Structure 1
Amino acid sequence: MSTPLNPTRRQFLGSIAAGSAGVMMSTSGHVFGASSPSDRPVFATIGLRNQGWTITDKSTKFADFAAFADVDADVLGSNIEKLENKTGKKADGYKDYRKLLERDDIDAVMIGAPDHWHTKISVEAMLAGKDVYCEKPLTLTIDEGKLIEKIVKQTGRVFQVGTMQRTECSQRFVKAVALIRDGRIGEVRRVTCGINGATGSPVIPAIDVPEGLDWDMWLGPAPMVPYRALPEMRKGYGGGVPLYTNCHYAWRNWYEYSGGQMNDWGAHHVDIATWALGASDTGPNKVTPVSYSLPVEYENGYPTVSDQYNSPTKFEIHANMPGDIPMIITSEGDNGILFEGTKGRFFVNRGKLVGKPVEDLESNPLPEGAVEEVYGGPVSENHSANFIAAMNAREQPISDVWTHNRMLETCHLANISIRLGRELNWDPDARQIVGDEEANAFLSRESRKGYEIDM
Structure 2
Amino acid sequence: MAERSPLISTEAGFEIAGQEQDSPNERPVFATIGLRNQGWAITNKSTKFADFAAFADVDANVLGAVNEQLKKKTGKAADGYGDYRQVLDRDDIDAVMIATPDHWHTKISVEAMLAGKDVYCEKPLTLTIAEGKLIEKVVKQTGRVFQVGTMQRTESGRRFLKAIALIRAGRIGEIRKVTCGIGGATGSPVIPAIDVPEGLEWDMWLGPASKTPYRALPEMRTGYGGGVPLYTNCHYAWRNWYEYSGGQMNDWGAHHVDIATWALGAEDTGPNTVTPVSYSLPVDYKDGYPTVDDRYNTPTKFEIHANMPGDIPLIITSEGDNGILFEGTEGRFFVNRGRLTGEPVEDLENNPLPEGALEEVYGGPVSENHTANLIAAMQSREQPISDVWSHNRMLETCHLANIAIRLGRELNWDPAKRVIVGDDEANAFLSRESRKGFEIEM
TM-score in terms of structure 2 length: 0.98
1:322 partner letter:
P
Does structure 2 conserve the Cα–Cα contact (< 8 Å) formed by 1:51 and 1:112? yes
SS of match in other structure, 1:257? coil
1:215 partner letter:
W
Counterpart of 1:160 in structure 2 is 147
The equivalences for 1:384-423 within 5 A come to 384-423=371-410
- Alignment partner for residue 89 of structure 2, among 68, 84, 102? 102
2:6 partner letter:
L
Which stretch has the larger CA shift, 323-332 or 83-92?
Answer: 83-92
1:48 partner letter:
L
Does structure 2 conserve the Cα–Cα contact (< 8 Å) formed by 1:164 and 1:170? no
Counterpart of 2:331 in structure 1 is 344
Deviations 1:45-75 (A, max 9, x none): 0000000010000000000000000000000
Distance 2:413 2:389 in 1: 18
SS of match in other structure, 1:323? coil
**How much identity, in percent, do the aligned residues show?**
83
Does structure 2 conserve the Cα–Cα contact (< 8 Å) formed by 1:287 and 1:319? yes
Distance 2:355 2:116 in 1: 41
- Alignment partner for residue 276 of structure 2, among 289, 300, 320? 289
Deviations 1:219-267 (A, max 9, x none): 0000000000000000000000000000000000000000000000000
Counterpart of 1:18 in structure 2 is none
- Where structure 2 has 5 or more consecutive residues not aligned to the other structure, the ranges are none
Please state how far the C-alpha of 1:89 moved relative to its aligned partner: 1.0
Matched, 1:434 2:421: yes
Distance 1:34 1:91 in 2: 19
Distance 2:88 2:390 in 1: 27
SS of match in other structure, 2:372? helix
Instruction: Give the count of matched residue pairs.
Output: 437
RMSD of the TM alignment (CA)? 1.1
2:108 partner letter:
I
Matched, 1:252 2:245: no
Matched, 1:24 2:17: no
Counterpart of 2:194 in structure 1 is 207
Please state how far the C-alpha of 1:366 moved relative to its aligned partner: 1.1
- Alignment partner for residue 43 of structure 1, among 11, 30, 33? 30
The equivalences for 1:37-436 within 5 A come to 37-436=24-423
Please state how far the C-alpha of 1:30 moved relative to its aligned partner: 5.7
Distance 1:363 1:34 in 2: 40
Deviations 1:321-358 (A, max 9, x none): 00000000000000000000110100000000000000
Distance 1:258 1:95 in 2: 22
Distance 1:176 1:211 in 2: 48
Deviations 1:376-396 (A, max 9, x none): 112211001111111011110
- Where structure 1 has 5 or more consecutive residues not aligned to the other structure, the ranges are 1-7, 16-22
SS of match in other structure, 1:224? coil
Does structure 1 conserve the Cα–Cα contact (< 8 Å) formed by 2:7 and 2:376? no
Deviations 1:76-103 (A, max 9, x none): 0111111111101121010010011000
